[in-house]
Amino acid sequence: MKVTVIQQDIVWKDVQRNIARIKKLIMAAERSDIYLLPEMCSTGFCMQPQGVAEEVEGPTVQAMKQLAVELDAAIAVPVMTHENGKYYNRMYFITPEGVAGQYDKHNLFEYSGEDKVFQPGEGKVIWHWRGIRIRPAICYDLRFPLFLYNKAEYDLLLIAANFPDSRLLAWDTLVRARAIENMCYVAASNRVGTDEYGTYKGHSVILNPYGMTLAKCRTSRQGSATASLDDEMVAKLRIMTKLNR
């Protein structure tokens, strides 16, 4: 199993330009089974969703469906979505067969007013893809260890984020902590560039269950990082530590 994190400079509230940029970044990346994009990859972390939030399985999802077929891979694509008059910070899991699952961000970031604009998801979601059990999370979810607590339910944690450079120490520390405490692989994709809220330097990374870095993106640069996952490492570690919960 190979996983790639995409580190993207997101164009503010410009869906079509971001779709073009995402396609270019994925096609330039190493071929993988899973590609992970940063939070709200088609708009930026925007609290004014009117006119820019996409319909269910909107243009970004449709473009990623075609790319998933072309690459015979899964793409985890987080977009701002509107459905039944409500807005969601949603991650779609797209395989060559279509949308295989979705996750709505559960822990909304009150400081930015996200909880006033978006509806929270109901909670835990597990996806299965090519023998790997996957738990999705979006940005602020990272700060809630009990929410992400792993009872031997998943092998890979996918984290899509818009973490600014002012909180990069927290980002680096928390993604490593989530890998170690949950004894799982972590693939964490954070954006780069600037928007109305600040500057982003990325630090997108893939970690093994010991918290060791397998691959990482260059700071403040668009690009990607790819790593191969050992399907048996998670099970062996849990048996060794007698924590196969």
170-229, pLDDT tens digit by residue?
999 999 999 999 999 999 999 999 998 899 999 999 999 999 999 999 999 999 999 999
Measure the CA–CA gap between 10 and 60, rounded to whole angstroms.
Answer: 13
Residue 139 is among the residues annotated as catalytic for this protein:
yes
pLDDT at 116 over 90: yes
Read off the pLDDT of each residue in 121-132 and give the average, rounded to a whole number: 94
Q: Please tell me which residue in 13, 65, 105, 201 is annotated as part of the active site.
A: 105
Q: Please tell me which residue in 39, 54, 114, 184 is annotated as part of the active site.
A: 39
Give the distance from CA 173 to its chain's centroid.
Answer: 17
Residue 100's pLDDT band (cuts 50, 70, 90)? very high
Single out the residue of 139, 146, 186 nearest to residue 40, CA to CA. 139
Residue 135's pLDDT band (cuts 50, 70, 90)? very high
Read off the pLDDT of each residue in 70-79 and give the average, rounded to a whole number: 98
82-98, pLDDT tens digit by residue?
999 999 999 999 999 99
Residue 39 is among the residues annotated as catalytic for this protein:
yes
For residue 243, the model assigns a pLDDT of 56
For residue 25, the model assigns a pLDDT of 98
> Contact at 8 Å (CB) between 178 and 172?
no
> Contact at 8 Å (CB) between 54 and 60?
yes
Q: Please tell me which residue in 139, 184, 201, 217 is annotated as part of the active site.
A: 139
Measure the CA–CA gap between 113 and 110, rounded to whole angstroms.
Answer: 5
Residue 151 is among the residues annotated as catalytic for this protein:
no
